[in-house]
Structure formats: C-alpha cells, structure tokens
Structure 1
C-alpha cells in the first residue's frame, strides 16, 4: 500500500526524502575526502599519524604543566604512546625537530606508579635501562630520548610539546 498525502500526490513525498538522503550521502562523502586530505597535509607539515591518532607539534618547548594545558586547549592531549607504533610516531617528530618531548605520562600522584594524564595506569612502556630512577627525588614526568626510550624527568624542565588528537 502506497503512502498518500491529503493532496493525493502518492509517493512524491517519499521520492523527495530519497533524493535528500542521496544528496546527504554525497555531501558526507565529499566531507570525508576533504577531511582525509587535511589530515594528510597536517601530518606532512608538522606531524605524524598512527591509526586514527594524529601527532602534531607547535615547536614550543615548555614545562610539563604548560604542555598539558597547550594540548588540552587545542582539543587534544599531550602525546601518550600506548604501543610501539604510537611511540615511533612521536619519535619521528622528536627526531625531525631534534628536541626531546614530554609524554603524557607521570607519577605525580604516587611515586613510582606511572599513569596517563587521565589517571589510568600505563600498559605500554619503553624505559631506558635503569629508568625510571627518580634522580634527585624530583623526577615525576616522562621525556623521550632520541632512541625512543623514556626517562623520568623534572616536570619544571622545558621539553618539546607534541599533542595527540583522535
């Protein structure tokens, strides 16, 4: 049984809806293509990607607290590698800039219990041999060496900002 309107136009309303759905699908596909092109351009200019995550730097060197704030204000978070591939993506930017970055990992709340910024325990780590060592009893943040390995570091030191977006 066909749907009819009070004007007796039958399936005309349904045809209009079908056309609108087709039009929306085409617009969505165009937006998807444009977004992918922008992602590639962003990664090409100042970043790296891994899966659905994009890693980008603003070339600034700041304290850990400032880095967390910068990334948060931009709508992301300080780079927090959760596997080897993500660690390598962050490392690629670090090597290109020839600067050590802070990672979104710390033991500020409980000494020796390194956690991501969201408070969850880290499930992946890449510590340099002998690290973390809390040298001088004030190393609560994590930096990345040029080898990709991690070192606990004083949060007041200045390191490269690399944010992750997903």
Structure 2
C-alpha cells in the first residue's frame, strides 16, 4: 500500500503533461517535459518513444509560442530542448518521425550554420529559437502526442 502511494506521487511529479491548443485538423497535442536529466538527440528520441510519445515537432508560430510558454512557466528558460528535426542522411532538414520536410521554420539569426551539425534544438543562447547542433550534445527533452478531440 505504501509503495503504491509513493509510486503515484512520483508519477505526479515525474510525468507532467501539458495541454495544447487545437490544431487546424481537430487534433490536440499534449506535451511532457522531462525535468530531471539531459541526454543526446538519439536517446531523447528513444525516451519519448518509450513513453508512447515522440520528440516535439513544431508546426506553426502558435505552437512555437506554446512550447516557449511551457518552458518559461516551468522555469527552464535557461535550458535547451531537442526537437525531432534532423538532416541525417540528407541535405535538408526534415521531421524524423514523418520524413516530411520542415515547412514552418523559426531559426535564430545566422542558422543553420554548419553542415556537420545535423540535429535541431530550441536553444537557450538563441532565445529558444532553432539552432542546428551536434546530435551528441546533452539537452533536455519535450515529448508530444496527438490527442483526438471528440465533438459533441
């Protein structure tokens, strides 16, 4: 009984899920920010996948603002966060989970700036704008999942 209560408390602290605005297609995204550790892009992808989610893919200015607000409200404005974008095996950046080219972009000034930096993060030194960086750097994780809304 005692361990069940402790487990529930840990889940409440470890798995914060944030709601998100409706998208044009009627889906809603929910986000999970991992507050306890940093890791590389590859492990970030695996972490989100193991939670039944995926690394964030920002599709619009509104979604960019929503993610930045979540980061700021959680007090992590001085951290950088991985996104699901890469140009691994290609010359252009695309969303890893869908293989689609990135259409909405929110690069920091002068970015992307290096062909050998193949992953993208919301970068704290760039005011949480996009920066191409080495996939092996250590950054925080935000996962997302689509939630279908039911119309009554």
Aligned to 1:50: 21
Asked which structure has the greater RCO (Cα within 8 Å, sep 6+), the reply is: 2
Q: Give the alignment partner of residue 139 of structure 1, picking from 92, 109, 117.
A: 117
Higher helix share: 1
**Cα-Cα RMSD:** 1.9
1:71 aligns with 2:48: yes
Report the 3-state secondary structure (helix = DSSP H, G, I; strand = E; otherwise coil) of the residue aligned with 1:49: coil
Point out where structure 1 has 5 or more consecutive residues left out of the alignment.
1-40
Q: CA deviation at 1:138?
A: 2.4
Q: Is the 8 A contact 1:48 1:92 kept in 2?
A: no
Q: CA deviation at 1:87?
A: 1.1
Deviations 1:34-72 (A, max 9, x none): xxxxxxx99xx4535232001111223110000000111
Give the total of aligned pairs: 121
1-structure distance, mates of 2:135, 2:71: 18
1:120 aligns with 2:71: no
The structure that has the greater radius of gyration is: 1
Report the 3-state secondary structure (helix = DSSP H, G, I; strand = E; otherwise coil) of the residue aligned with 1:69: helix
Point out where structure 2 has 5 or more consecutive residues left out of the alignment.
1-11, 23-27, 147-152
2-structure distance, mates of 1:72, 1:93: 21
